[in-house]
Structure 1
Amino acid sequence: MSDAFKITRRAFASTALASTAVGGAALAQQTNDPALFEQLKKENISNPETGAVKRNISGFSNKDWRPYFSNTKNGVILVDTLSRALHFWSEDQSVYKLYPTSVPETPELTRTGRTKITRLRVGPDWRPTPNMLKRNPDWPKYIPPGPDNPLGTHAMYLTWKYYRIHGTHDTRKIGRRSSNGCIGLFNEHIEELFNLSKVGTQVLLI
């Protein structure tokens, strides 16, 4: 690998990941762990100069699937982009999980509505979209699986082109508006969700 390519990869890792929905150890295996809530609360502060909220857990609480789905066939995933949380219910409703997420940076990048999982992949590779390359011409056009990959260790592909639920190696992005459209989870959490989900799992973003 050339030194120039190494420099490009390092620059991408330090700058591109900051704006991509893309792990270090997670704060807790389940987000209703009191220790995780306390950590998120400590970081849920505003910048006194800009007023920017670092993290948002104001609406981070358990939900019921019934207001959002008519059934739980194949399992269901609800992504709440306001509280930056992902909810999962198994088909037989015996398993419920709640995870903190990263969400799109702006309303223009945020897509809501119903979709489903079409593909599951361990060790995903990644290519920036044409629009991403227009905005960031110095980005590499391809990132193989590994620690530099914005999709983390696992990715779940949706019917919407370019949209995914995936892991991240940059844990600072969880709980923030930090992606170009995708939903990111801690690698430990996406691995657990990956193993609970399947092709056909229903997904709703609100």
Structure 2
Amino acid sequence: MKRRQFLAGSAALIGTPALAQSTDESAAEAFQRTETVEVERDISQAVRRNISSFRSLEWQPYFDNLRNGAILVDIDSRALHYWSADGETYKLYPSSVPLTDDLTRRGRTKVTRKVEGPSWRPTPSMKKRNPEWPDYVGPGPDNPLGTHALYLSWTYYRIHGTHDTRKIGRRSSNGCIGLYNEHISELFSLAKVGTQVLLI
């Protein structure tokens, strides 16, 4: 398979809603699950850019406190807001969001893991549909997760970078929230394991 074909097909790999997990899975299965991103459709479908308001927000309507910092993802405006624990730092980033409502998860979660140079592994169902895809993509320009990833407490959900800048500001993911690589790098340096996250 040519590199360009793989990049075109894998640029969309953002994530899907969590699948039911066995409570007695092995450590190896748990590790592979956390390293896997599922994709369910071709990203080239809905690609209309966001034209809704892109404005700063106050944290108080959304969080009781700023302990460990806070991240708010507004799906409708396709924006990610970050506040530091001391309230001194506020960042606003354009983002990619899920393609459809059925792929969108809303509610409260938190950052559980931070990975610089994330790796990607296709799920068994992805390999079944796309047997030509590699079993593993390491860090680098071919990786669908970009340069950095913030893993959330929801299985398969991440806030991560993307090398495909066309996706930002669009409904273009299968569950995860994507940022420009320079923005995820900055957010990665600000957010901590334990940072609270709310998707609305």
Smaller-chain TM-score range?
0.7 to 0.9
Residue 166 of structure 1 aligns to which amino acid in structure 2?
H
Q: 1:181 to 1:131 in 2, by over 3 A?
A: farther
Q: How many residues align?
A: 170
AA in 1 matched with 2:114:
L
Contact 1:86 1:100 in 2 (8 A): yes
Corresponding position of 1:10: 4
2:146–2:163 CA contact under 8 A, matched in 1: yes
Match of 1:182 in 2: 176
Identity rate, percent: 69
- The AA in structure 2 aligned to 1:20 is L
Alignment of 1:33-182 (within 5 A): 54-182=48-176
Q: Give 5+ residue unaligned stretches, structure 1.
A: 23-51
For 1:148 and 1:53, the matched residues in 2 are separated by: 21
Cα deviation, 1:24-57, whole Å, max 9, x if unaligned, reads: xxxxxxxxxxxxxxxxxxxxxxxxxxxx762114
Q: Distance in 1 between matches of 2:195 and 2:76?
A: 22
In the alignment, which of 6, 18, 21 is matched to residue 14 of structure 2? 21
Aligned alpha-carbon RMSD (Å):
1.8
Letter in 1 for 2:191: S
Question: 2:53 corresponds to which letter in structure 1?
Answer: G
Q: Is the 8 A contact 1:104 1:177 kept in 2?
A: yes
| 1:10 to partner: Cα distance | 3.0
Shift of 1:106: 1.3
Change (3 A) 1:141 1:56: same
Unaligned runs of 5+ in 2: 16-45
TM-score if structure 2 supplies the norm length? Answer: 0.79
* Separation (CA, whole Å) in 1 of partners of 2:80 and 2:129: 29
- With normalisation by structure 1, the TM-score equals 0.77
CA distance in 2: counterparts of 1:149 and 1:136, whole angstroms: 17
Counterpart-to-counterpart distance in 2, 1:146 and 1:124:
9
Counterpart for residue 32 of structure 1? none
How far apart are 1:65 and its partner, in Å?
A: 0.7
